[in-house]
Copies of this chain bind each other. A is one copy, B any other.
Amino acid sequence: MTAFADLMAFQRETEALGQIAGRLGWDQETMMPEGAAEQRGEEMAAIEGVLHSRRTDPRVGEWLAAAQAPDAGGQRALDLIARAYGRNACLPARLASEIARVTSIAQGTWAEARARDDVAHFLPTLEKVVALKREAGQALAAGGYGGGDVYDALLDDYEPGATGDGIAAIFGRMRPRLVALREALLGARHAPEPLAHSFGKDGQMALARELATAFGYDWNRGRLDLAVHPFSSGSGNDARITTRVAETDPFNCFYSTIHEVGHACYELGIDQAYLLTPLGAGVSMGVHESQSRIYENQLGRSRAFTGWLYERMRETFGDFGLRDADSFYRTVNRVQPGFIRTEADEVHYNLHIMMRFDLERQLMSGALAVADLEEAWNTRFHADFGVRVDRPSHGVLQDVHWSVGLFGYFPTYALGNVYAGCLNKALRAAVPDLDEGLARGDASPATGWLRENLQRHGGLYAPAEVVERACGFAPDEGPLLDYLDAKFRALYGI
């Protein structure tokens, strides 16, 4: 028992230090004075250095070898620590620090390139990042992660147990139905009314707070602030969210808020017994995204909830140019091809992901050279979306992910949508009067069901397992596609 207890005590401090690093990141995006940026870089490097040395501390290996778990939860904690420790042990220290160094510079270079629409400015840096991440993937694959596959070994960090082939199979089944739906919708007559209004910042923020409350966000353990790019941050009893405000587009603020509330409710809903343990955070990026997505889309963009939101917006902002709740429902669910993933509707979103997934798999296998990436992107985009990319910031430069070395991350967004589809089916069956609450602006029964059936487990079960336990069936893409078909065909009257 001593090795187990010693390891858990050590790990608990590491988790606490990890929370601190997260808090600093939150501060940096919300509160930090601009002139502090360079100093903050050193501060972040110092805490990351402490975390890295703890995560690779040889004592962890010794404790793992000797530890006996007292129960299943303890065994799962050991497994999670062993997995992270084993992955770190595969990576030479030189490679780990080179990745940290290069990606921290690359993010700035990417931001410059995007602002100037200058792909060439970014390519040499992206070459380095891709080479380093391939090397990391090879080292992990050689250590047995991802079943020996380079891409899968990277993917495994964000979605343990998922494989590129498995995701490709899901995507292969999704694509025809999504494309057929998209074509049918784009062929239908559907002209949403334009918003004829400016939406004041204070009113938007007040309503954003109301939305978070409606979804059961616990203000005693969280807060809402402004940030350039909305995010959620923190685990345990301190899970904060951010949003942004554009006076001409209130839906950006409102649906960003609901999305981040989903992430935060997951963290806040985890069993208190798991606080600051390996089980005390969401189990994977895909499951995390399932929470943010079901809050944002299946619940937040439902006819019932949008009816309430329409009334609250009229009370807050007066007449804003949409004649009734049905018109409002059509507006927040408008389907149209667009360049930007983060602005995509529910039907197009997964097509964006499929494209990135195929391209990044090719980059990692070496089948696609970085020099050819832009052309590959533009060709594929035209084929998938029927529109020619007009500038790099609308194309290959739009997302930060690759610049910071996140290869294998994109598919977790689509997996989150698939899981959200399954959870929505099970939730609707279990809580038949859900829409009555949503129509009153009360989504807390959904949070209650999700907390009880999924969120509270934290890292206890593997990603697909926890979704299956919640749903009562093995997750697949069917419920998501059924939901999209039913919702959008009805909405467009086809």
Contact = CB atoms under 8 A, between A and B. Distances in A.
A23 interface: yes
Interface string A400-414: 000000000000000
Contact of A238 (B13, B40, B218, B222): B40
A12 to B, nearest CB: 7
Nearest to A46: B16
A34 interface: yes
Given A46-B20, A50-B17, A275 B39 contact: yes
Contacts of A221: 33, 35-36
A262 B135 CA distance: 52
A27 interface: yes
Contacts of A40: 238
A237 interface: yes
Nearest to A51: B50
Contacts of A218: 35
A16 B32 contact: no
A42 B24 contact: no
A45 B355 CA distance: 46
A2 interface: no
A16 B43 contact: yes
Interface string A20-61: 100110010001111110111011011101100000000000
B31 A237 contact: no
Contact of A17 (B47, B219, B237): B47
Interface in A289-319: none
Interface string A442-481: 0000000000000000000000000000000000000000
A145 B73 CA distance: 51
Identical chains bound together, number: 2
A342 interface: no
Interface residues of A, number: 37
A380 interface: no
Contact of A31 (B219, B223, B275): B223
Contact of A49 (B13, B35, B222, B236): B13
A68 interface: no
Interface string A414-429: 0000000000000000
Given A17-B50, A47-B20, A50-B50, A238 B32 contact: yes
A276 interface: yes
A237 B20 contact: no
Contacts of A20: 20, 24, 43, 46-47
Contact of A42 (B12, B23, B32, B33): B12
A278 B360 CA distance: 46
Contacts of A238: 32-33, 35-36, 39-40
Residue with the highest number of chain B CB atoms closer than 10 Å, among A38, A43, A45: A43
Interface in A6-21: 12-13, 16-17, 19-20
B35 A237 contact: yes
A220 B36 CA distance: 8
B39 A19 contact: yes
Contacts of A50: 17, 50
A451 to B, nearest CB: 16
17 contacts: A13-B49, A16-B39, A16-B47, A20-B24, A20-B43, A23-B43, A27-B27, A33-B219, A33-B221, A33-B222, A34-B220, A36-B237, A36-B238, A38-B237, A39-B238, A39-B275, A40-B238
Given A20-B20, A33-B237, A35-B220, 11 more contacts: A13-B46, A16-B39, A16-B47, A20-B43, A20-B46, A33-B220, A33-B222, A33-B240, A35-B218, A36-B221, A39-B238
What 7 A-B pairs are tightest by C-beta distance, nearest first?
Answer: A36-B238, A16-B46, A35-B220, A35-B221, A13-B46, A16-B43, A39-B237
